[in-house]
Amino acid sequence: MRGRRRLVIWVAVGAVAAFLLLSSTVSYYYTEILWFEELGIRSVFLTVLSARFLVGLGAGLLFGLFVFLNLKLVRGTLIQLSGQLAEPGTGRWFAPRMIDRITVLASAGFGVLTGISLSTEWETILRYIHQVPFGLQDPLYGREIAFFVFTLPVYRVVFNSAGFLLLLSTLVVGLIYFFAGSINFLGGRVNVHPRARAHLGGLIAAYLLLKAWGYWLDAFELVYSPRGVAFGASYADVHAQLPVFRIMTVLSIVAAGIALWYIRARDIRWFYAAIAVMLVGSLGLGTVYPAAIQRLVVQPNEIQMERPYIEYNIDYTRAAYGLDDVTEVPFAALDTLDWEQLEANMDTVENVRLWDWQPLLETYRQLHTIRAYYEFPDADVDRYTINGEYQQVLIAARELDYTQVPGAETWVNRRLQYTHGHGVVMSPAARFTEEGLPHMFIRDIPPESEIDVQIDNPSIYYGELTGDYVVANTHEPELHYPAGDTNVYLHYDGTGGVPLQGMLRRSAFALRFGDYNLILSGALHSESRIMYHRGLQERVLRAAPFLMLDDDPYIVVCGEENRLFWIQDAYTHSTRFPYSEPYARQTNYIRNSVKVVVDAYNGDMGFYIFDEDDAMVQTYQSIFPDLFQPMDEMPGSLAEHVRYPMGLFEMQMEMFRTYHMTDPVVFYNKEDLWAFPEETFRGQTRRMTPYYILANLPGVGDELEFLTMMPFTPEHRDVMIAWAAGRSDMDNYGELVVYLMPKGRTVLGPSQIEARIDQDDEISQLFTLWGQSGSSVIRGNLLALPIEESLLYVEPIYLEAVDRGLPELRRVVVAHGRRLAMGRSVAEAMEILFGKRDPLEVDELVEVDEDDLIDDDDVDFPAADVEGTERAWDLFQRAQEALRDGNWSRYGDLMSELEDTLQRLREGPE
């Protein structure tokens, strides 16, 4: 009776556990499909779910059936073994009927586990079914690249899975036969029962035939070989390893035949012979022979032997990283830039980025977060047409930091009231105030804008910091923004999130999140909307897990709707592109084929295809036809803000610094290897990273455009040898241009300019004096700006009080050729550099009082014309203000007008 009670208890506990597990699984999938329905991409969820189910079901049935058949073949042996293991006179451990049940359960269990494991290969299978050709063939076998990227991975999954199944089955049935006595060592020899011999011989023969197919597959894997001097099949691979794989394919078939003959011959020596054939072939041919060819034939004549394979590596690496269409342009790098040329390129000079995102972000956080529970996760560089002028700006989203929410331990505060961030701050990249702080275009809460970029809806429900779920539009008002001693509240009226209609949905979400307040709270109603998967990158990957995301999403003010949207760059990528050198062991093929737009208020997502020639995105589009949209359907006010992603550009430039060498001999000797320059930042030397600029591309473009830029130096040298630009504006989006310095001239590189700044007596004296006064000098990013056929270097200098931690932009260093100057603004530094004004004295450089920018003694006005004097003084003040702001065109107009006024004053009244 007691045993029966325990059994009932265990059954009840198991039933409850199974019910909870089933309920949790059902609630998860139910709430997931609601999320996809909210976004209008239910078909994506159903495609993935059905693919996982069908792949898992097919694999589970095949593998389970195979195990079942093998166990059925050893049924008699199992019955015999059961009798042997039982105590004398007690019958068998298990009755034949129980053995049959165990066979079914074991087969089903193995099938389920295998199906679950292989269901993760759904993407591999779907890509194989929907594959689109690349339009390029590999150089070794002449096969379409799609075979290596889409087909070969499926073959590998089948081979590995089948190999595991055959080895496991052989091991299990072999142990059963051994313990049952069907395999023994009586009489000093191995004795195998005919039934066991037939069974095991068949399994071993099947494995050897599978191994023959594996060697056939290994031959194709040679295009990823690291053996030679360049990635991909080398001379030894093609002339030694490939023939070995062909021979091993034949030997495996022969060994399989020997294994089958063993069944008939009943001589264990035939089995040993099969094993010997494989071992000798694998070790002798597969290892020793290719190594000998590499050492004795290739290495003494390496460049001659490897030349064609180096060419393959160069060509296919450039194709895989989108470097085969790079435009190379000679760049004179003249050091004769004059004032007239500078004035002709004022649009570039006026947009030089003086604010680095790191010190600017510190300033934003100290001056513009408003409350401790707001945070700026990042500051991004972008460009806007502001009051009719194309300008470079920095912009940051003011998000809610849930770790700092007041009363975060209360459910109402964390889930219902503190639901969203508020607005952005924006400042021009080239301007600063008299106090050395960024001039703000958009500031405060609610956002106040001094430009024609307005924000009507500043709420940020979806962003970089929005990891937790919240419920919007409840009976509890949501904090919109703080207003002095009070707060302004609202009720969400958007379409984001899933409506909590009915108790079924509330119960499902409560079970999913383990939060039963979703059932019990009276603040929720049928129009309340639960928002989850709110994190920007989590949200994108939930809908498109096959994409790789750039690390730097950025927020955009959409001019058409005066609302906030995020743009996330996404990549298609592969590790299976033949002959292409891998990048950081992560990928060897990449395209920025997709731009994802996420509505910061409603969470809607748009996946826009920006590279219609990419075979991988075409394949995914065939799999998920409802997910992607053509590039032309992106709203124009958002398309104006697409950027050449920094992450992709840096990856491409890392590859290009080697793969700009297209001559195999030069490549082999690494004669022209490039490097990224070094710069000084916060007193530390570090590798320069790419940066965004607004400039005219010399010899290529005739209009100001938004570019990603990177200088290069020769390896182990500091002079500049080239610079590269990625074009972002829609008309030329995605184009890469590389400017090559003249071979016979020395062009100072960034680290040499940094050294000249360090060695300048007045500048170093200034830095020393500032340091002695308790301030920290921060040297910003050194920027190289192309001005026609010349380069102009600009480096901002920030001053930060040790006890204040607020960087202030105080000086600007400019350099051209071997000339160097420092001023209190870009305009002033330029005037000094080009001899339009005298260099500042040390006391002027040290002084940070803005009154020193204007010296009344420099202007002598005739007393006879008071009205003219006032007019001249007004013009001078306005010109100085334009000078501080870096508005050169405005400065020039005012100075011309001032010159006319002073001329009239000088001539006196008529």
Angle at alpha carbon of residue 484, lines to 482 and 486, rounded to 5°: 65
- Dihedral angle sign, alpha carbons of residues 140, 146, 149, 155: negative
pLDDT, mean of residues 162-169: 94
pLDDT, mean of residues 174-185: 76
Q: Is the pLDDT of residue 718 over 80?
A: yes
Lowest mean pLDDT among 140-154, 225-239, 365-379, 873-887: 873-887
Place of tokens 């342009």: 329
Look at residue 866 in the predicted model and tell me its pLDDT.
46
Look at residue 531 in the predicted model and tell me its pLDDT.
97
The pLDDT confidence band at residue 610, using thresholds 50, 70 and 90, is very high
- Dihedral angle sign, alpha carbons of residues 768, 769, 770, 771: positive
Lowest mean pLDDT among 317-321, 480-484, 797-801, 877-881: 877-881
Q: Is the pLDDT of residue 86 over 60?
A: no
Contact between 824 and 868 under an 8 Å Cβ cutoff? The reply is: no
Q: Is the pLDDT of residue 802 over 60?
A: yes
Q: Is the pLDDT of residue 91 over 60?
A: no
Q: Give the integer Cα–Cα distance in Å for 659 and 672.
A: 10
Q: Is the pLDDT of residue 437 over 50?
A: yes
Look at residue 31 in the predicted model and tell me its pLDDT.
96
Contact between 709 and 698 under an 8 Å Cβ cutoff? The reply is: no
Look at residue 882 in the predicted model and tell me its pLDDT.
67
Helix (H, G, I), strand (E, B) or coil at 783: strand
DSSP letter string over 28-78? HHHHHHHHHHHTT-HHHHHHHHHHHHHHHHHHHHHHHHHHHHHHHHTHHHH
Q: Give the integer Cα–Cα distance in Å for 776 and 805.
A: 9
Place of tokens 């300019």: 753
Look at residue 542 in the predicted model and tell me its pLDDT.
96
Report the run of H or E that residue 259 belongs to, with start and end. helix 242-265
Q: Is the pLDDT of residue 791 over 90?
A: yes
Look at residue 860 in the predicted model and tell me its pLDDT.
37
Look at residue 78 in the predicted model and tell me its pLDDT.
63
Q: How many C-beta neighbours within 10 Å does residue 794 have?
A: 25
Among candidate residues 795, 834, 821, the one with its CA nearest the CA of residue 352: 795
Average pLDDT, whole number, for the chain? Answer: 87
Among candidate residues 480, 418, 339, the one with its CA nearest the CA of residue 816: 339
Torsions phi, psi for 411 (to 5 deg): -65, -40
Of 176-185, 355-364, 475-484, 546-555, highest mean pLDDT: 546-555
Task: Encode 363-427 in three state secondary structure.
Answer: HHHHHHCCCCCEECCCCEEEEEEECCEEEEEEEEECEECHHHCCCCCCHHHHHHHCCCEECEEEE
Torsions phi, psi for 779 (to 5 deg): -90, 120
pLDDT in tens, 96-130: 677 778 788 888 999 999 999 999 999 999 999 99
pLDDT in tens, 565-601: 999 999 999 999 999 999 988 899 999 999 999 999 9
- Inter-axis angle of helices 122-129 and 152-179, nearest 10: 130
DSSP letter string over 650-688? HHHHHHHHHHT--SHHHHHHTTT-EE--EEEETTEEEE-
Place of tokens 């029966």: 4
Q: Is the pLDDT of residue 494 over 70?
A: yes
Lowest mean pLDDT among 3-12, 196-205, 215-224, 739-748: 3-12
Angle at alpha carbon of residue 848, lines to 844 and 853, rounded to 5°: 60
**% of the chain beyond a pLDDT of 90:** 63
Instruction: Kindly state the tokens that stand for 699.
Output: 């010899």
Look at residue 886 in the predicted model and tell me its pLDDT.
57
pLDDT in tens, 814-862: 999 989 999 999 999 999 999 888 887 655 555 554 333 323 333 333 3
Q: Is the pLDDT of residue 14 over 50?
A: yes
Look at residue 13 in the predicted model and tell me its pLDDT.
66
Contact between 680 and 754 under an 8 Å Cβ cutoff? The reply is: yes
Q: Give the integer Cα–Cα distance in Å for 871 and 873.
A: 6
Torsions phi, psi for 549 (to 5 deg): -105, 145
Q: Give the integer Cα–Cα distance in Å for 589 and 578.
A: 9
What is each CA distance from 564 to 381, 459, 560, 602, in whole angstroms? Answer: 16, 8, 11, 10
Look at residue 771 in the predicted model and tell me its pLDDT.
76
pLDDT, mean of residues 882-906: 66
pLDDT in tens, 697-706: 998 767 899 9
The pLDDT confidence band at residue 17, using thresholds 50, 70 and 90, is low
pLDDT, mean of residues 397-403: 93
Whether the ω angle into residue 438 lies within 30 degrees of 0, i.e. cis, is no
Look at residue 855 in the predicted model and tell me its pLDDT.
32
Instruction: Kindly state the tokens that stand for 576.
Output: 């299976």
Among candidate residues 713, 787, 552, the one with its CA nearest the CA of residue 646: 552
